[in-house]
Amino acid sequence: MTIQKSNKAHWSKGRLKGQNRLRLVVLGFSLCFAVISARLVELSLVRGFMDGQKGRVTQQARLPRPDIVDRNGMLLATDLKVQSMFANPRKIIDVDEAVELITAVLPRLDSAKLRKKLSNKKRAFVWIKREISPTLKSELYDLGIPGVGFRKETLRVYPNGKLAAHVLGYVDVDSRGIAGIEKYLDDQGAIYTASLANPIKNTTFSAYLSIDGRVQHAMADELAKAVEYFKAKAAAGVVMNANTGEIVAMVSLPDYNPNDPLSAQNAKSINRLTTGVYELGSVIKPVTFAMALDSGAMTMDSTFDARQPLAVGKARIHDFHAQKRVLTVPEVFTYSSNIGTARMALAVGIEEHKAFLRKAGFFSKLRAELPEAARPIIPKRWGKLTTVTAAFGHGFAIQPLQGISVTAALVNGGKLIPPTFLKRGREASLGLATQFIKPETSKDIRYLFRLNAVKGTARKADKLAAGYRIGGKTGTAEKVIKGRYIEDKRLNSFVGAFPMEDPKYVILVMLDEPQPLKETFGYATSGWNAVPTAGKVIARIAPLLGVMPQLSQAEKVSAEKKKKQVN
């Protein structure tokens, strides 16, 4: 009986151990199955999702870019469907034959480089020729070379060639924005936005610029004529809406054709209005006048002693058109007196002068849509002499676009509005504006601008643009080369506005190293070249911008005489 119980207990324990082993085996299989299942889920779902994301990124990169149009809807940049030729070197049967056949149709291809590409069996994909015409594609397809194929791509084209090149920028062979508005659109995610607007056709989105193609063409044409006539190295110009900050035209010559991106690599083709910084000379003087008037340091009835050069340490400040007498405020402006303007800045004070220039934005980089923007060059030490020279535009360098932006504030009632290359309404612009100077100060500056066109250094512009009531200030700045001012190398400029009773537009014209001519009596200062160039530009663009001439009786008589002479 005892033996039976012992055997039964032993059998019971063995059965229990067997069940435990079975459970362990089942648990082991379950864990293995779980691991395999998790791996399958990862491969099928997670990686599939990631691949889908990568595919989405790739698809996004290949999306057509939005059209770029001017403010009136004129097409400036668009995409065209093209074919690109590629090869799988692993499937090329006879490399030499393939090279011979392909270069017979595409003779500009480097046969040695092509042979090296097609001989690389480690790669399954190489480009042979991007962006080929339908005719070439047909010829190459008919060659029937195994391992060669074609892929649909988009080609960015600029129908108007060089027009607004520095504003538009350009793209690389993969249609990525490299410069200008093209790069800005990429940086802002506009390409993806375009795809969401209409993911099938992608035709509902266009980038509307503030540029007016007609005004852009007129300014480019007149600047090109000025470069040729005055034998200048380069030229640049901007037209801005004084009340919205919209850039209506921006030209920098020499320019380039965005259809040929390599031409943009020429160092002479830089955008002088945003990429370059310059000492702008006397066109900065209105800023000093506005500062002195706004602070109360002077009134329009104040006078300044310009009988002798102004001594600051060892330096002596002279006037180009020296009157050698006490000058009124309007006379300081029309005679462009360095001495009088410097005394204004000293009357305000060194620290107050710095604060005003900082308020104007001259101490920081201008932020607009174009990514190409240079920082101002400001002296590390700012003392009395710096304030004196900065008062008339020397000793510090800024983007010309910064200069015209502040000029707009001087004449539009005192509102400093950030410039933009995108179409923007007046209400939105005013929401971004800051009150830079008092409206009363702006009124005084408008009076001085107009006076200078009637009696001062801007008279030639007023005659050439009769009836458009222009006003402005000239600037002739000696260029700094290797740390020294060079007398016979000048950057001449004119900054102005029209019509002066209620300025709608401001304009800046720059000529780099214009030469003295027989027709200019050997002079090469701004009044003889930049000013008449600006007058011709205004005469052409004002009617396009809806500004109509209002001729005085004397101007009407003069116009009739000219008309009879022409006939």
Residues recognised as catalytic: 282
The rounded distance, in Å, linking the Cα atoms of 238 and 546 is: 18
Contact between 306 and 341 under an 8 Å Cβ cutoff? The reply is no
Q: Are strands 75-87 and 303-305 parallel, antiparallel or unpaired?
A: unpaired
What's the CA dihedral at 499, 502, 508, 514 to 10 degrees? 40
Place of tokens 């009395």: 384
Phi–psi pair at 324, nearest 5 degrees: 55, 45
Angle between helices 95-105 and 111-119 (to 10 degrees): 140
Residues in Cβ contact with 289 at an 8 Å cutoff, skipping those fewer than 6 apart: 329, 332, 333, 341, 344, 444, 445, 448
Tokens encoding 378: 């400001």
Contact between 500 and 471 under an 8 Å Cβ cutoff? The reply is yes
The rounded distance, in Å, linking the Cα atoms of 510 and 271 is: 12
Three-state secondary structure call for residue 542: coil
The rounded distance, in Å, linking the Cα atoms of 183 and 187 is: 6
The rounded distance, in Å, linking the Cα atoms of 110 and 106 is: 9
DSSP H or E stretch at residue 181? helix 180-187
Count CB atoms within 10 A of the CB of residue 190.
19
Contact between 190 and 207 under an 8 Å Cβ cutoff? The reply is yes
Burial 280-300 (b: 16+ CB within 10 A, else e): bbbbbbbbbbbbbbbbebbee
The rounded distance, in Å, linking the Cα atoms of 475 and 271 is: 20
Angle between helices 285-295 and 350-360 (to 10 degrees): 110
